[in-house]
Chains A and B, each alone.
Chain A
Amino acid sequence: MEPILKGRGLVKRYGRVTALDHCDFDLYPGEILAVIGDNGAGKSSLIKAVSGAVIPDEGDVYLDGKKVNFHSPIDARNEGIETVYQTLAMSPALSIADNMFMGRELRKPGFRGKFLRQLDRPKMEKIARDKLSELGLMTIQNINQAVETLSGGQRQGVAVARAAAFGSKVIILDEPTAALGVKESRRVLELIQDVKSRGIPIILISHNMPHVFEVADRIHIHRLGKRLCVIKPDEYTMSDAVAFMTGAKEPPTEKNAA
């Protein structure tokens, strides 16, 4: 099967720091791929390279087998790739609805939208509210609240809701549950399954091994800026995975064993 999103020989250097070192990457249609690795292993750099947020110094990215050159996250978004970045990428002073529709605002129908370019606030607010409710983010009282007045977890919830609402081809989640409570984490995991059942593949970066082993179809283990190996969660234990990613144990020899 052809990977839906593929990276080959990706290199990204920040000055003298090498974040990605000839890294390969494969995401297959309809799967949940977890990416795990130590802090600073280069996981975020990898997903930024495939989502247009950084332009790799070397290497190629392929979408549906065709080489793509994303120059900005907008390019990737236009291809249906939606990302929740670790930093969440939200404008603190703007409202939840404004943030959810940033860069794809809905305009009023007719004259006011076409010529006065007026935004359709009620519609955007309604959709935003629905998406948050789907995620179980019931503690958000006011959809016009500025994002800076939300708790860290609520903010993360809004970012996840935004990606889930708009992703049509690939959804990338960089530590989406790091700040979430028990209930909200569970909802995000359910949401991930839900998105998968819609046929959309997901990249999930997480340090939470139980979560990873629960939802992932395959686990990409990242170490020192490259893919060390890919394992299947039912063939290895969590402690094996941790041992591989920290270098305590040799990885399985065939790189694409899984």
Chain B
Amino acid sequence: MSTDQNFETGLQGSSNKVAEFDNHDASFLKRFQHALHVTPSLVPLIVLLISLIIFGVLLGSKFFSPFALTLILQQVAIVGIVGAAQSVVILTAGIDLSVGAIMVLSSVVMGQFTFRYGLPPELAVACGLACGAICGFINGWLIAVMKLPPFIVTLGMWQIILATNFLYSANETIRSQDIANQAPLLQLFGEKIKVGGAVFTYGVIFLVLLVLMLAYVLRHTAWGRHVYAVGDDPEAAELSGVNVKRILISVYMLAGVICAFAGWALIGRIGSVSPTSGQLANIESITAVVIGGISLFGGRGSIMGMFFGALIVGVFTLGLRLLGADAQWTFLLIGALIIGAVAVDQWIRKVSV
């Protein structure tokens, strides 16, 4: 101890209170930026409200009726459910390109198991859900254990599952009437509840409950925190005591099961079981997630944001249609929104909070 650390004597009597500062001079903009940073789903919520107001002003009661507004919900139900699956995956910095394929295969399994093998519909539905879980498990296992990139794994699985779907179903559609007569359970999510002019399908109710449940789980349980940690920095998560493999596999399995529910809801929506349906679910779910402000790099964003993102797409689609605009305008605006959402995301993150 030759170099005596005399400078440390200056420590005597140093303050031992938690630092406090007055925040009264924080400007409104600054506080707004902070709020956006802390609550990422605020941006899509604001965009949603603004677009509702704009279309409301332009279209009046044609748009602002309980019927039209709940129609939007019905139209986004499938995308929203698949988007919920996609959100959980993207929060881990992954991506699932096979969501649409899992959805369709699961619906085909539910239909064919009932009609080809004569299983009771309850059992067939359970088999469909199990099918989603298995597909998700394969994705998760390849990603977590074999350490293959999620994009590649799910790109491959998309093709494999879709091909399986066509081979197994022999491209055969099960007609709506047959289902209604023999296995109405399969169309359960198409059932409607009317409240005044508002129409809610069971699919819509399921979507809302699913989003609320996932929001709770992601925010208030250890599993949810681990999902964020894995998406943030998987190595740090592993070192700080998260079982990264288990989390990844469980996330992809959960996504698979949610997609299978989407498949069930799909039967309710279109009435029939069709192996060629739902082809756009991949891209639409990713769109909802991105517009909803969930970062494709993982670890940031919330499931609520995805829900608002899906609703924004629904509002634009219906609003522009009621305005009589060419459908291409919808795609154009959605494209602009996607780029805008990512730009806003980057901007918020640059703000030092």
A-to-B contact residues, CB < 8 Å: 53, 72-74, 77, 83, 85, 87-94, 98-99, 102-105, 107, 116-119, 129, 133, 136, 138-141, 149, 162, 182-183, 186, 210, 213-214, 238
Given A149-B353, A182-B11, 7 other A-B residues pairs in contact with their CB atoms under 8 A:
A73-B238, A91-B228, A91-B299, A93-B232, A99-B240, A102-B237, A136-B16
Query: B19 interface residue, CB < 8 Å from A?
Result: yes
Interface core residue of A53, A91, A98, A136 (most chain B CB under 10 Å): A91
B-to-A contact residues, CB < 8 Å: 1-3, 5, 7-8, 10-11, 14-21, 216, 220-223, 225-226, 228-229, 232-233, 235-243, 299-300, 352-353
Least Cβ distance of B301 to chain A in Å?
10
The 8 Å CB contact of A102, one of B8, B14, B220, B229, is B229
The answer to whether B18 touches A119 (Cβ under 8 A) is: no
The answer to whether B241 touches A74 (Cβ under 8 A) is: yes
Query: Which A residues are in CB contact (< 8 Å) with B228?
Result: 91, 93-94
The answer to whether B3 touches A102 (Cβ under 8 A) is: no
Query: Which A residues are in CB contact (< 8 Å) with B229?
Result: 91, 94, 98, 102
The answer to whether A138 touches B16 (Cβ under 8 A) is: yes
The answer to whether A119 touches B220 (Cβ under 8 A) is: yes
Q: 8 A-B residue contacts at CB 8 Å?
A: A72-B238, A89-B239, A91-B229, A93-B232, A102-B237, A102-B240, A116-B221, A139-B19
The answer to whether A141 touches B18 (Cβ under 8 A) is: yes
The answer to whether B1 touches A74 (Cβ under 8 A) is: no
The answer to whether B19 touches A138 (Cβ under 8 A) is: yes
The answer to whether A102 touches B225 (Cβ under 8 A) is: yes
**Chain A interface SS verdict (over half):** loop
**Chain A residue nearest in CB terms to B14:** A183
A-B contact count (CB 8 A): 109
The answer to whether A140 touches B18 (Cβ under 8 A) is: yes
The 8 Å CB contact of B235, one of A89, A98, A118, is A89
Report if A93-B299 is in contact (Cβ < 8 Å); known contacts: A72-B243, A102-B242.
yes
The answer to whether A91 touches B240 (Cβ under 8 A) is: yes
Least Cβ distance of A44 to chain B in Å?
12
**Chain A residue nearest in CB terms to B239:** A89
The 8 Å CB contact of B8, one of A93, A186, A213, is A186
**Chain B residue nearest in CB terms to A89:** B239
Query: Which A residues are in CB contact (< 8 Å) with B235?
Result: 87, 89
**Chain B interface SS verdict (over half):** loop
The answer to whether B221 touches A118 (Cβ under 8 A) is: yes
Least Cβ distance of B55 to chain A in Å?
34
Query: Which A residues are in CB contact (< 8 Å) with B14?
Result: 183
The answer to whether B16 touches A91 (Cβ under 8 A) is: no
The 8 Å CB contact of B241, one of A93, A104, A149, is A104
The 8 Å CB contact of A91, one of B1, B7, B11, B237, is B237
**Bound-complex Cα distance A98 to B220 (A):** 11
**Chain B residue nearest in CB terms to A87:** B236
Least Cβ distance of A53 to chain B in Å?
6
**Bound-complex Cα distance A150 to B338 (A):** 31
**Chain A residue nearest in CB terms to B298:** A93
**Chain A residue nearest in CB terms to B217:** A117
**Chain B residue nearest in CB terms to A88:** B236
**Bound-complex Cα distance A113 to B300 (A):** 25
Listed from nearest, the 9 A-B pairs whose CB atoms lie closest are A103-B241, A89-B239, A105-B222, A91-B229, A91-B232, A89-B236, A102-B240, A89-B240, A117-B221
**Chain B residue nearest in CB terms to A100:** B240
The answer to whether A119 touches B236 (Cβ under 8 A) is: no
Least Cβ distance of A135 to chain B in Å?
11
Least Cβ distance of B349 to chain A in Å?
9
**Bound-complex Cα distance A118 to B223 (A):** 10
**Chain B residue nearest in CB terms to A119:** B220
**Bound-complex Cα distance A224 to B91 (A):** 41
The answer to whether A74 touches B225 (Cβ under 8 A) is: no
Query: Which A residues are in CB contact (< 8 Å) with B16?
Result: 133, 136, 138
**Bound-complex Cα distance A72 to B244 (A):** 10
**Bound-complex Cα distance A85 to B232 (A):** 17
**Bound-complex Cα distance A149 to B353 (A):** 7
Query: Which B residues are in CB contact (< 8 Å) with A210?
Result: 1, 3, 5
**Chain B residue nearest in CB terms to A48:** B239
